[in-house]
Structure 1
Amino acid sequence: MGNGATKEVGILLVHGFTGSPSSMRPWAEFMHQQGYTVRVPLLPGHGTKPEDLNQVKWQEWPRKVESELRELQKTCTKIFVFGLSMGGGLTLYTTQHHREKIDGIVLVNPMIHIPLVTPTVAKIFSKFKKMRSAVGNDIKRKNVTEYAYDANPIVGIYELTKMLKITRENLSKVSIPTLLFHSTDDHVLPVSNTEIILKGISSKDKERVELTNSYHVATLDHDMEIIFEKSLTFVQARS
């Protein structure tokens, strides 16, 4: 836990699809060292085996984030949510429903759509195949892993696309301060995700930072210090 003034500021870190809290741990530890109260939940269907992600309904993810928000509210006067990839989409969804509880969001290569994969397409796919090749561990740094699943659960993707569709339709409800990091070399998500989000949210206070030396999981990559420092400045300025 934190101490002094900063411990009344909560940071909730949300990992990505097929990922785990380990992708967020260095960032969480950095914020924790600055005295903030930090929570890094494991999302339902994650951290066990890929098949488990095929059993989850998308509503379970925001429910988990909301329960973490409630925990932080017990001791914190201000709360910021940091999200990576699907965790970024989930952060946007949560903000749409709880903007009065959240003072700012930091998104790293956030996901808002999977081009050409609508819920309908994903549903058809899932009838024939339960797994496809993995998306995790897109990291430029050598010998680093986010401990992601080694396969991509298709039914889980169907659930994910449903959540993203709703989130995308409601982007204008996001009006709080937003800091967005985008890797120019992201092998998982096209830049359209960043562009749709920045154009769609109604926040006046929004900034986009390009990361030139990281892949998708930038929180563990060469540019992680940039993310840590800029997100710290972002939080300090708004708390």
Structure 2
Amino acid sequence: MGKASKAGWLITGALMGYLGYERLWRQPPLLEIPAARPLKDFASAVEAAQSQVAESESGVRPDCAGKLFTHGRQTDRAILLLHGFTNCPRQFHALAERYYERGYNVYVPRFPYHGLYNRAPRELMQLTSEDLVRTGMAALDIARGLGRYVMVMGLSMGGLVAAWLAQHREDIDRAVMVAPALAFRAIPFRLMPLYATYARYAPNRFIWWDPERKGAAPGPEHAYYGFHLRALQALLRLAVLVGETTRRRAARARSLVVILNPTDESIDNEGVCTVVRRWRRRGSNILLYEFPAAWGLPHDLIDPDQPAQQIERVYPLLIEWSEYPYYVTAAPKQPSL
């Protein structure tokens, strides 16, 4: 084979590799994400929250609508609580009340296609990464008008959105990510881009949380029985995009907290720790905590309606870890990475 032929093959191979990367590996960037427009006064924030709550699809359960807890004025502290995948704002109501009693104004928005009466809704197929980010961006704009110090806390999908917000918004005082959907036990962390592409193009199907008992499985009445593969793609794509930005720069939020559950059946904690290490290398101000493995907590450790809930010992730790070092004087123990 001549030099010209070898060069041709190399060029062809490089081109095929690049096209393969573009088609199978690289995730498309988010489209039409509005710029941050943080509200500066309490009245505007309440009006915007009421407007966001009113934006809903047909068939939303009343108890799954977004929820606003206020003291009738802007407070020193406000917290934005972001619910998990296939659940709804009701998941956070009990914890929201705990923060409210501590003086916070609290806002719990609803993500699109969640909280419907139909617990296996086809509407969930329409969920996109853009839906998640736009909802989080608008909710954070609202939270800025509710309190002078603003915390964002999310579980699972909500933790993933909190991570995106922390990476891109400078006006977050603290982002708390509880079992964030940055990595998944069922998917090798390094291959997440391929799985995201597969979920985007493969034939859609409904995946039961409990394949054996299906709709008879115990759990909250307001949570879904499972999810559509196409909806999972929204989480996978966003997780990949967040992971890519952590390679390049630190988070813009003032401080971050990641809270892991060692008995989590859904989240790949080592993959999450990989993202935490990237943040630390880039200089992010980040704390990492872990619940005791002996507790045997489920993935959804927030919802009081979960059969295996242990909120009477989970909630105090969540509050302590989220408030250190601002309102807690003794430093909680840090697990090693």
TM-score scaled to structure 2, two decimals? 0.61
Map of 2:174 onto structure 1: 104
The answer (yes or no) to whether the contact 1:119–1:158 under 8 Å persists in 2 is no
Q: Which moved more, 1:227-236 or 1:179-188?
A: 227-236
Aligned-residue offset at 1:103? 0.6
The code of the aligned residue for 2:288 comes to E
The answer (yes or no) to whether the contact 2:77–2:148 under 8 Å persists in 1 is yes
The answer (yes or no) to whether the contact 2:193–2:237 under 8 Å persists in 1 is yes
Higher relative contact order structure (alpha carbons within 8 Å, sequence separation ≥ 6): 1
CA distance in 2, matches of 1:222, 1:45: 25
Aligned CA distance change for structure 1 residues 200 and 145 (closer, same or farther; 3 Å)? farther
CA distance in 1, matches of 2:241, 2:223: 25
Aligned CA distance change for structure 1 residues 38 and 182 (closer, same or farther; 3 Å)? same
CA distance in 1, matches of 2:146, 2:74: 11
- Say yes or no: does 1:134 pair with 2:215: no
CA distance in 1, matches of 2:73, 2:115: 33
Query: Tell me, which stretches of 5 or more residues in structure 2 are unaligned?
Result: 1-68, 211-217, 328-337
Aligned CA distance change for structure 1 residues 225 and 180 (closer, same or farther; 3 Å)? farther
1:217 to 287, 297, 300: 300
Q: Which moved more, 1:159-168 or 1:124-133?
A: 124-133
Aligned-residue offset at 1:78? 1.1
Aligned-residue offset at 1:82? 0.6
Give per-residue Cα distances to partners, 1:188-225, cap 9 Å, x unaligned.
12222432232122333413122432110111354434
The answer (yes or no) to whether the contact 2:195–2:236 under 8 Å persists in 1 is no
Aligned CA distance change for structure 1 residues 226 and 194 (closer, same or farther; 3 Å)? farther
- Say yes or no: does 1:204 pair with 2:285: yes
Map of 2:80 onto structure 1: 12
Q: Which moved more, 1:227-236 or 1:52-61?
A: 227-236
Count of equivalent residues: 232
Aligned-residue offset at 1:19? 1.7
The answer (yes or no) to whether the contact 2:150–2:172 under 8 Å persists in 1 is yes
Give per-residue Cα distances to partners, 1:51-88, cap 9 Å, x unaligned.
21211221111111111111122232111011101111
Q: Kindly report the root-mean-square deviation, in angstroms, between the aligned alpha carbons of the 2 structures.
A: 2.7
Aligned CA distance change for structure 1 residues 209 and 151 (closer, same or farther; 3 Å)? closer
Give per-residue Cα distances to partners, 1:137-173, cap 9 Å, x unaligned.
xxxxxx6537321121111111221111001112242
Partner secondary structure for residue 158 of structure 1: helix
The code of the aligned residue for 2:143 comes to L
Identity %: 22
Map of 1:139 onto structure 2: none
Partner secondary structure for residue 95 of structure 2: helix
The answer (yes or no) to whether the contact 2:258–2:286 under 8 Å persists in 1 is no
TM-score scaled to structure 1, two decimals? 0.84
The answer (yes or no) to whether the contact 1:181–1:211 under 8 Å persists in 2 is no
Map of 1:76 onto structure 2: 147
CA distance in 1, matches of 2:143, 2:192: 34
CA distance in 1, matches of 2:93, 2:152: 14
Q: Which has the larger radius of gyration?
A: 2
CA distance in 2, matches of 1:132, 1:159: 15
Map of 1:180 onto structure 2: 258
Aligned-residue offset at 1:4? 9.6
